[in-house]
Structure 1
Amino acid sequence: MSGHHLAQVNIALPLEPLTSARLSGFVAALDEINALADAAPGFVWRLQTEDGDATAIRLLDDDRLIVNMSVWSSMTSLTEFVYRSDHVRIMRQRRTWFETMSEAYQALWWVPAGRLPTVAEAEQRITHLRAQGPTEYAFTFRNSFPSPSATEPSTPDVRDLTCPA
């Protein structure tokens, strides 16, 4: 087992409340996509409440934002899930449900294996990425940094990957 895992957080600003008809497709797909992540190779953990998702958790002092946070065994496993699984089918509809954000809405960072990130830590990572750009502290798929355990390349080959959003 690697000494580090990859944490990721992404946030989204829904165009309407999650209870609206417009967001019903997104809400209906949550259980399916969460189950897909839970079963994906390299999946370690995801943030969730007793409802099984994280839509009730807020961050960045904005009650409208929703959050997704998870931990993966490697950059490769997260990349495979995000860009090559059925997750893409849902995320292609992102603009139907969510505002286009002008600031960073996703951050990646390494955590020691066995340690789970907190919502406060996720806020710090996104805030840092927005202010400083990609660094070892918080980075993106395109501008990533190697694990402190350094058993894989620092940047996945994302040339052939299209953003699902």
Structure 2
Amino acid sequence: MRLAIYNFGLHVGPYDSAEVEGFRLREAVNFTAAERADGFFGRSGYDGEPGPSSWGSQVFPRFIKGSSFETGPSSLSLWRDIESLMAFSYSGVHADALKHARHWNVKQQWPPLVLWWVENGRLPDWEDGVARLERLHDHGPSPAAFHFKQAYDPAGAAYVIDRAVVRALVDKNSAGQADLLARVKTMPV
């Protein structure tokens, strides 16, 4: 089994606006940092854009309605386990982006991300990610749709994240991402 993650937010302005320049400048660097992270298997690309192929047609959750946007920042990726995803998410380049996200994104009334397990060899698609995010919002965490604070293992049992493994992965990843982190530290917020 592999761990899937889908996240979704809404920017405070159009993607090409000055308000979200810091996000826009960091986006490709974050993708590169993920690719270098231990435990990363792959990510969906976006229809019509260079990079990896899209895992199905990109759709957005109902939370986009009334926002005046047709799209929102979102990603869909696969990881070896919860610890590898957590090590990437909360350290280095991605942690820098999270630190500044309040400048670029509206305050969410929905979960920012959803996690779930998929069988080896299977790719999740955008529709599945959206459905699981909405399910998490509507019904709370379950083995079918959960988050870091209430995680589940591939068999559906409650799971306690191994923080020592996370710390070891953070240390391992940091050497391979030092150049990227130095670059984002010079970028405007």
Structure with higher helix content: 2
Check if 1:6 corresponds to 2:26. Answer: no
Partner of 1:129: 136
Mapped contact 1:8–1:107 kept (Cα < 8 A) = yes
Partner of 1:25: 22
Structure 1, unaligned runs of 5 or more: none
Check if 1:83 corresponds to 2:90. Answer: yes
Deviation at 1:23, TM superposition (A): 0.9
Deviation at 1:47, TM superposition (A): 1.4
Distance in 2, Cα, partners of 1:123 & 1:57: 9
Structure 2, unaligned runs of 5 or more: 65-69, 168-189
Distance in 2, Cα, partners of 1:156 & 1:100: 27
Distance in 1, Cα, partners of 2:28 & 2:112: 22
Alignment of 1:99-114 (within 5 A): 99-114=106-121
Deviation at 1:157, TM superposition (A): 4.9
Mapped contact 1:57–1:67 kept (Cα < 8 A) = no
Distance in 1, Cα, partners of 2:107 & 2:156: 35
Among 148, 151, 155, the alignment partner of 2:160 is 155
1:101-146 Cα offsets, whole Å, 9 max, x none, are 0121210000001111001101110111011100001001000101
Partner of 1:15: 12
What number of residue pairs does the alignment pair up?
A: 154
Larger Rg: 2
Partner of 1:47: 44
Mapped contact 1:58–1:66 kept (Cα < 8 A) = no
**Partner AA of 1:117 in structure 2:** P
Moved over 6 A (4+): none
Mapped contact 1:17–1:23 kept (Cα < 8 A) = yes
1:49-85 Cα offsets, whole Å, 9 max, x none, are 233388x944125324221111101111001101123
Q: CA RMSD in A?
A: 2.4
**Partner AA of 2:147 in structure 1:** T
